[in-house]
Amino acid sequence: MNFNDKYSQIKIVVDKELSIVENKMVVSVREPLNSQLIKFLSSPSKRIRSVLPLLFIKACNQTPSDTQLEVLSAVELVHNASLIHDDIIDESEFRRGEKTISAKFGTKLGVITGDYLLSQAMEKIVKIGSLEIFSHFTSTLKYMCIGEINQNFDKFKIGTIEEYIEKSKNKTARLFETAFACCEVLNENPQKYCNAAEFGLNTGIAFQIRDDLLNVIRFGASNDIKQGIYNSAVIYSGSVENYSFGIEKTRDLLNNYIENAKSQAAKLPDNDYKYKIFEFLELLKND
């Protein structure tokens, strides 16, 4: 089985809660944009930023609360807003097999649509009434922007691994971290088995490293490299043309962050949800 098939078997154990998260991703703007936006938000997606926190909550022998599900819907809205903005930055015409919002309606409306989803997410967070959760989200949004800004100014420069990891944190992992941290803030059971936020951060970094690694392995001089966005394989090899040496070192880097995540997940109670988390981490390593 490939990654998607194996992941589907993991995801199915939280399908009930995930459907509630998706139903909370409500949008209401003028047609014909509204229909396209609903289609975009409901199109097939891994929903990893929700699936893993849901598994984590249930691994702690708890039932996800409605407020936790509300937080995860806000996380998904932020993620999807970033995808719309990424498509504009990358001048992409298609995503998930469909024309991008910006390709269909133009760049200006694409920017506003992404901003609209961000406003919907923040409205949800404000209504929850937790300053700590609000702070997590605003900080994450700031760092996501910083990640994009730094990436733009660092194009066609082979930087350091530390800079690459920092970019991966900002662009990807901090939203994972926020999903876990906020769900933990709303935890009705004060017992804390492990550092959920640290698990989220390490898993998010691993997820980004894996994504970059697969792009290099599958597509060679991938679109990112052509655009001057250099990942760890290029950094380790010190070459844009010959980066094969950097692939194995990138695998080691990936495995290091997976092991860091495992060290936190290992502290969870032994149950099926914990085992599903470990299955997911193994998927990141082996697929």
pLDDT in tens, 17-39: 999 999 999 999 999 999 999 99
pLDDT in tens, 76-129: 999 999 999 999 998 889 887 889 999 999 999 999 999 999 999 999 999 999
φ/ψ (deg, to 5) at 99: -65, 140
pTM: 0.94
Say which residue the tokens 């700590």 belong to: 132
Classify the C-alpha dihedral 41-42-47-50 as positive or negative. positive
- Could you tell me the CATH number of the domain that includes residue 278? 1.10.600.10
Domain total in the chain: 1
Summarize the confidence of residues 252-271 as an average pLDDT.
96
Closest by Cα among 48, 36, 47, 161 to 105: 36
Summarize the confidence of residues 267-282 as an average pLDDT.
96
Summarize the confidence of residues 226-253 as an average pLDDT.
90
Q: What are 95's strand-pairing partners?
A: 98
In which domain, by residue range, is 177 found? 3-286
pLDDT for position 219: 67
Cα 187 from Cα 67, distance rounded (Å): 10
